[in-house]
Amino acid sequence: MNDRRQNIIQETEQFVQTKLETEGSGHDWWHIYRVVNNAKQIADTEAVDQWIVEMAALLHDVIDDKVTHDVESSRVELLTWLKDQHISYQQIDDIFAIIDTISFKHGYKTLPSREAEVVQDADRLDAIGAIGIARSFTYAGSKGHLIHQPDASPRANMTADEYRNETNTAINHFYEKLLTLKEKMNTAEGYRMAEKRHQFMETYLEQFYAEWDGKA
Ligand code: ADP
Ligand code: NI
């Protein structure tokens, strides 16, 4: 990577750190740091533009509605900022195409580039394994959810919301999302990393249930 490109990466790190300073929804700077590292590791094994991958990984959450109240003005701000870095329109387009499509929530079936697939794998990897477990419990805690509810069942007079709240536990999130991510990996290296993290979660759950019932 040439000096100019390296320099833009450093400027972007600064920009993102400032944007996420007050972030409390599990998308803090260290999430970005880990996703960038995952993305670089995967990009090393793929025929992709490593700079685009790193830039998109750095910027993948800054205009998300989880992180900003005003998505539209955040987009404009990011666009202006990227233009000020003298990044070409083509590259700016490529970066936006990635960050607009990779989110789990959007669930796009087809991504715009191999670079997007790499960044999506990198983001998903941060939701599984030891880190994913930590994030799941942090999220549940922040919402006042239980860690686990072994005998949730619909009761008479219970509203749908009450039932959903009772079943929306940190452990339930493993089954709803975390254990499904391995099979969704786009790249071979992403899959290899996911397998290891997936196995760790399986082992974790086994121990969790054993301890839950006083059998460990
Ligand atoms: P992302 O788009 O990065 O996956 P989310 O806001 O959906 O972001 O999730 C942030 C983190 O919180 C992730 O690690 C995710 O697995 C976890 N999380 C999301 N929803 C829940 C939930 N209902 N219970 C526990 N953890 C959750
Ligand atoms: Ni993310």
Domains along the sequence of the chain with CATH: 1-107 (1.10.472.50), 127-216 (1.20.58.1910)
More confident residue, 158 or 41: 41
Checking if the pLDDT of 27 tops 70, the result is yes
Residue nearest to atom 22 of ligand 1 (CA): 173
Select from 177, 180, 184, 201 the residue to mutate for testing ligand 1; criterion: most ligand atoms less than 8 Å from CB: 177
Query: How far, in Å, are 61, 100, 196 from residue 65 at the CA level?
Result: 9, 11, 31
Helices (H), the chain: 3-19, 29-43, 50-59, 71-84, 89-99, 114-125, 129-143, 160-167, 170-176, 188-212
For a pocket test of ligand 1, which of 108, 139, 164, 181 has the largest count of ligand atoms closer than 8 A to its C-beta? 139
Better pLDDT: 161 or 180:
180
ipTM of the complex: 0.97
Determine the 3-state secondary structure of 154 from DSSP: coil
Q: What would the pLDDT profile of 134-151 be if each residue is shown by its tens digit? A: 999 999 999 999 999 998
pTM listed for this prediction: 0.93
Q: Which atom of ligand 1 is closest in space to residue 61's alpha carbon?
A: 3
State percent of the chain over pLDDT 70.
97
